[in-house]
Amino acid sequence: MTGCPLPTPNANWALFLDIDGTLLDIADTPTAVVMPPELPDLLDALLKLFGNAVALVSGRSLDDIDRLFAPRKLPAAGQHGAEIRLPGGTVECAPSGADLSALFPALEAFAADRAGLLIEEKGRTIAVHYRNAPQYKTDIEDFLGRLTGDQSGTVETIGGHRVFEIKPRAFNKGTAVARLMQAPPFVGRCPVFIGDDRTDEDGFAFVQAHGGLAVRVGMAGASIADLRLGGPGETRAWLAHVRDVLTEKAK
């Protein structure tokens, strides 16, 4: 593991896990990510050990999360908290105060002249991926500033790993974790959030304010996180360690 030693696993934790760059290695496109063969069984074991208090918190939509983790449907927050599936399967949509659909045609037109850009319309948020065209980062930032300037009070753009996420300000990963923590079996547990980029910092802030632990994956970039892991492989290795420790304690 990288950085300070991680704490001894506690069965009273509630785990909140980002996906891309945290559980899964980032790929050139969102559809190209590879599910490590050991991860589904590891998540099943963690669900059992934590009494189902394990949730995925992602920029992906719930439909996309379910495609990746099929046939499992874990408690999850999609689109940075725009949609939340509570334990038991009920899905709630967070009020947004902003409609981004009018931005999509302009974004597609912008990308049409710049090979390698990918515009991903997720329903209530939009991602501009430039992993295959990093030379356009400054152009994208300038364009998004102009495009969303009139809505700056209700819309924000957050940078991630070679992606810009456009989303309403009304919700984020922090509000998502807050809502999940109100539902059994999360209620009363110590929240642990693991994420890898700026979009996860709101989740970190929430868990820290409620006595929990924030873990940043990757060594680049400033963060308020308490601890760091080197990459998704280290995340999976640490979660396997958590499983093994708690399994031994349960004997």
Catalytic residues: 18
Check: CB of residue 97 under 8 Å from CB of residue 168. yes
**Lookup: tokens for 186:** 């999360």
Closest CA to 131 of 98, 159, 103, 93: 159
- How far is it between the farthest Cα atoms of the chain? 61
Q: What is the DSSP letter of 84?
A: E
Place of tokens 């379910």: 66
Span between the terminal Cα atoms of the chain, in Å = 26
Q: How far apart are CA 191 and CA 201, in angstroms?
A: 14
Q: Which parts of 181-223 fold into alpha helices (H)?
A: 201-209
